[in-house]
Amino acid sequence: MLSIDFIRDNPERVRKALHDKGHEDAGDDLVGQVLTLDEERREKLTNLQDLQHESNEASERIGELMRQNKKDEAQDLIDRSKTLKQRISTLEDEADDAEKRRDAALLRIPNVPHESVPVGHSPDENETLREEGEKPSFDFEPQPHWALAERHDLIAFERGAKVTGAGFPFYLGKGARLQRALVDYFLDLADERGYREMQPPLFANADSARGTGQLPDKEDLMYEIGRDELFPIPTAEVPVTNFFRDEILDEDDLPLKFCAYTPCFRREAGSYGKDVRGLNRLHQFDKVELVRFERPESSYDALEELLADAERPLRQLGLPYRVLLMCTGDMGFTQAKKYDLEVWSAGQERWLEVSSVSNFTSYQARRLNARCRSDPESDTRFVHTLNGSGLALPRVVAALIEQNQQADGTLVLPDALAERTDFKRIGGR
RNA sequence: GGAGAGGUGGCCGAGCGGUUUAAGGCGCUCCCCUGCUAAGGGAGUAUGCCCUUUAACAGGGUAUCGAGGGUUCGAAUCCCUCCCUCUCCGCCA
């Protein structure tokens, strides 16, 4: 969430952010509501604290009188304290209520986009910054990955659907081996760039989901184990970013960089058609995630570095891709700036998102209560959090096998990968 | 899953209804003393929020002793619920 001080000082900027991100509720002025509720809260609080002060002094005095055995005088004060106490209790409830309502409204205000972010309301208004690599051309009709996967018995979609449901495939033989090699490869690349490997829990509690912003607004994204109030993670971002929840970090230790391989679980309600064909959109998929904790002043430099780190595996695998700068309307609630990496799917002739690289500035950190400070004397401030996929596997697998298909239907892996599998070729001899 | 013990400031650790505005120690910061080193002396050392004030500082108040609720004029201390940690037993990859 945003700082209430920031909203107090910059109401118009926040209103603009709300508008640009398309989170305006028709007609009602969320910023105005927050400010009003905030004033209400502060008034009640001041009032309450005055009474608490009075009550504390009375109690202290009573203690004194009791020690001196002046019971009668004490009794008078006790009677007065009792009435005071009732007023305190009422005011407490009111102040509490005002704070809850303020915070509820505050949670509905999105992060403010960075000034370099283009204003726009549809995906068409995202900026394509560059295209890297050459799209392949074939002297035969290239097949989509699901056809190739079936032909070489790499993935069992139907059986997955039988066992769990659509979007939960089995990977088999060289298909499974390929995925394992990719995970290993991506982690090694991240390690080379100074990201410390982490194996996080695959379930997170509600506090954690709130911390990174999956709750309350993206509730439908996650599966839920109601019985234990846990959520299978939709991305490693959730557990990894929550690692430092409620902690104060030493700024000398920043930046802190982590990478984590995890399966990810997403309900993906409402998707259909070509979007969900084959590996395009799954309910369970593997991903290597990069997460960074940064000083506020360096988070945008870190974002550029993170982008480069996310691009590296695509380059090395020789996959054509493009870099998009997301416009205000197409970026998430919690993000201040976001790039998407899209890989070229040669069999489907379309771009597939494989990474999303974002700076959340202090927005997540404030929810997480993750702070930092330069030395014990100075004030604390909220760290800046960033994350990016490096990378999500299924679409990379799809692009890989489509791009590397041969006229005879066999698949030839790029050398970088073949070093890690014990084969270079799938199919044929 | 069963039985027991326990969660106190950066760390250790006392406190078990009102001389606690959380003892004492360690660590850390600043100052003094000292030719250097060692030792010694003094002061300070949590976080959020509210108010006053400011260019910055600062001051006052309030809440927080795992979390939430209750008893009381007053709770770290008593009661209830939950969470977590440790020990022993059982089960298990």
List Cβ<8 Å contacts ≥24 apart for A144-147: A144/A277, A144/A278, A144/A345, A144/A347, A144/A348, A144/A402, A145/A278, A145/A279, A145/A345, A145/A347, A145/A348, A145/A397, A145/A398, A145/A399, A145/A401, A145/A402, A146/A277, A146/A278, A146/A279, A147/A347
pLDDT digits (tens, 9 = 90+) for A377-389: 678 889 999 999 9
pLDDT digits (tens, 9 = 90+) for A291-316: 999 999 999 999 999 999 999 999 99
Residue A325 clears pLDDT 70, i.e. is over it: yes
Q: How far is the CA of A211 from the C1' of B51 (A)?
A: 30
CA torsion sign, A306 to A307 to A312 to A314? Answer: positive
Tally of CB atoms within 10 A around A115: 7
Residue A376 clears pLDDT 70, i.e. is over it: no
Nucleotide nearest to A4 (CA to C1'): B49
Instruction: For helices A30-67 and A71-106, give the axis angle rounded to 10 degrees.
Output: 160
Q: How far is the CA of A7 from the C1' of B27 (A)?
A: 40
Contacts of A203 (CB under 8 A, 6+ apart): A225, A230, A231, A232, A233
- Supply the residues of A annotated as catalytic: 266, 281, 353, 356, 395
Q: What is the CATH topology of the domain spanning A4-106?
A: Helix Hairpins (1.10.287)
Q: What does the alpha-carbon distance between residue A347 and residue A137 come to, in Å, rounded to a whole number?
A: 11
Residue A26 clears pLDDT 70, i.e. is over it: no
Q: How far is the CA of A377 from the C1' of B41 (A)?
A: 24
Q: How far is the CA of A59 from the C1' of B17 (A)?
A: 13
Nucleotide nearest to A80 (CA to C1'): B73
Q: What is the mean pLDDT of residues A326-349?
A: 95
Report the protein residue whose CA lies nearest the C1' of nucleotide B44: A377
pLDDT digits (tens, 9 = 90+) for A83-92: 888 889 888 8
Q: What does the alpha-carbon distance between residue A319 and residue A416 come to, in Å, rounded to a whole number?
A: 12
In this predicted structure, what is the pLDDT of residue A127?
96
What does pLDDT average to over chain A? 91
Confidence class for position A82, pLDDT limits 50, 70, 90: confident
Q: How far is the CA of A165 from the C1' of B80 (A)?
A: 45
- The ipTM, to two decimals, is 0.85
Burial class (CB in 10 A: 0-12, 13-18, 19+), A231: buried
Sorted by where each begins, the domain ranges of chain A are: 4-106, 123-426
Confidence class for position A257, pLDDT limits 50, 70, 90: very high
In this predicted structure, what is the pLDDT of residue A378?
76
Q: How far is the CA of A377 from the C1' of B42 (A)?
A: 20
In this predicted structure, what is the pLDDT of residue A66?
79
* Cα–Cα nearest to A186, from A262, A74, A103, A254: A262
Confidence class for position A75, pLDDT limits 50, 70, 90: confident
Q: What is the mean pLDDT of residues A224-248?
A: 88
Q: How far is the CA of A209 from the C1' of B8 (A)?
A: 30
Query: Range with the lowest mean pLDDT among A53-57, A270-274, A292-296?
Result: A270-274
In this predicted structure, what is the pLDDT of residue A429?
62
Q: What is the mean pLDDT of residues A412-429?
A: 90
Q: What residue type is A208 in one-letter code?
A: S
Nucleotide nearest to A43 (CA to C1'): B50
Query: Range with the lowest mean pLDDT among A60-64, A131-135, A166-170?
Result: A60-64
Instruction: For helices A173-192 and A299-316, give the axis angle rounded to 10 degrees.
Output: 140
Confidence class for position A375, pLDDT limits 50, 70, 90: confident
Residue A107 clears pLDDT 80, i.e. is over it: yes
Q: What does the alpha-carbon distance between residue A329 and residue A119 come to, in Å, rounded to a whole number?
A: 7
- Strand B: protein residues, Cβ closer than 7 A: A 4, 42, 45-46, 49-50, 52-53, 55-59, 62-63, 66-67, 78, 81-82, 85, 248, 371, 373, 376-377, 379-380
pLDDT digits (tens, 9 = 90+) for A124-139: 999 999 999 999 999 9
Bigger pLDDT: A31 vs A67: A31
In this predicted structure, what is the pLDDT of residue A228?
73
Task: Quote the percentage of chain A above a pLDDT of 70.
Answer: 98
Report the protein residue whose CA lies nearest the C1' of nucleotide B51: A46
Q: What does the alpha-carbon distance between residue A410 and residue A202 come to, in Å, rounded to a whole number?
A: 36
Report the protein residue whose CA lies nearest the C1' of nucleotide B47: A380
* A393, two tokens: 């596997």
DSSP of A233-283, one letter per residue? -SSTHHHHHGGGTT-EEEGGG--EEEEEEEEEE---TT--GGGGSTTSS-S
In this predicted structure, what is the pLDDT of residue A27?
64
- DSSP β-bridge partners for residue A170: A156
Report the protein residue whose CA lies nearest the C1' of nucleotide B28: A376
Contacts of A289 (CB under 8 A, 6+ apart): A235, A236, A237, A240, A259, A260, A261, A262, A387, A388, A389, A390
Nucleotide nearest to A47 (CA to C1'): B50
Nucleotide nearest to A85 (CA to C1'): B73
Nucleotide nearest to A369 (CA to C1'): B48
Bigger pLDDT: A379 vs A145: A145
Half-sphere exposure of A116 (CA within 13 A, CB side): 11
Element (H, E) at A372: strand A371-373
Residue A218 clears pLDDT 90, i.e. is over it: no
Q: What is the mean pLDDT of residues A131-157?
A: 95
Confidence class for position A79, pLDDT limits 50, 70, 90: confident
In this predicted structure, what is the pLDDT of residue A224?
87
Q: How far is the CA of A378 from the C1' of B63 (A)?
A: 22
In this predicted structure, what is the pLDDT of residue A60?
85
Name the architecture of domain A123-426. 2-Layer Sandwich (3.30)
Query: Range with the lowest mean pLDDT among A152-161, A267-276, A398-407?
Result: A267-276
Query: For strand B, which nucleotides have at least one atom less than 7 Å from a protein CB?
Result: 18-19, 28-29, 45, 47-51, 61-63, 73-74
